[in-house]
Amino acid sequence: MGMSISWPPPGSLYEVVNMKNLSLLDDLFLWLERRHQPMHVAGLLIFEYPKGAPSHFVSDLAQQMRDCTAPTYPFDQRLVERWRGNCWDHDSAFDINHHFRHVALP
C-alpha cells in the first residue's frame, strides 16, 4: 500500500518560517469584520480617453492588465490561518481574472 507525503508538511517549521505575520492593523481589520459589517476596500475608477486615442484604447489597456499574470510582492500574498495566528503566504494559484474586471458601457 503506497503512502502519499506532501512537502512541506502542513504546519511544519519550514512552512511556518517562510510566512509573514499580519501587521497589527491587518489583524484588527480581520477581528472587526463581520458579515453585516465588511471591512474590505473596493475602488471604482473613471477614466477619460487620452486625446487622439484609438477606439480600442481601453480594450488594449484591459488586455495589458490581464497579461500581468505574475504579481509581485505584496500582491502575490494570501491570508492563511495557522495555530500561531493569521499569516501572509505566497499564493501560487493567483488568477488575475479573480481580481480584475473590465466593465464598460456600450
pLDDT number for residue 17: 57
Contact between 20 and 87 (Cβ < 8 Å): yes
Q: Looking at residue 50, what DSSP letter applies?
A: P
* φ/ψ (deg, to 5) at 28: -65, -45
Q: What is the pLDDT along the chain (106 residues), one digit of tens a residue?
A: 445 444 455 555 555 456 788 888 888 888 888 888 887 778 887 878 889 999 889 889 889 988 887 888 888 888 888 877 888 888 888 888 888 888 877 7
pLDDT number for residue 49: 84
* Three cell numbers, residue 5: 507525503
pLDDT number for residue 48: 83
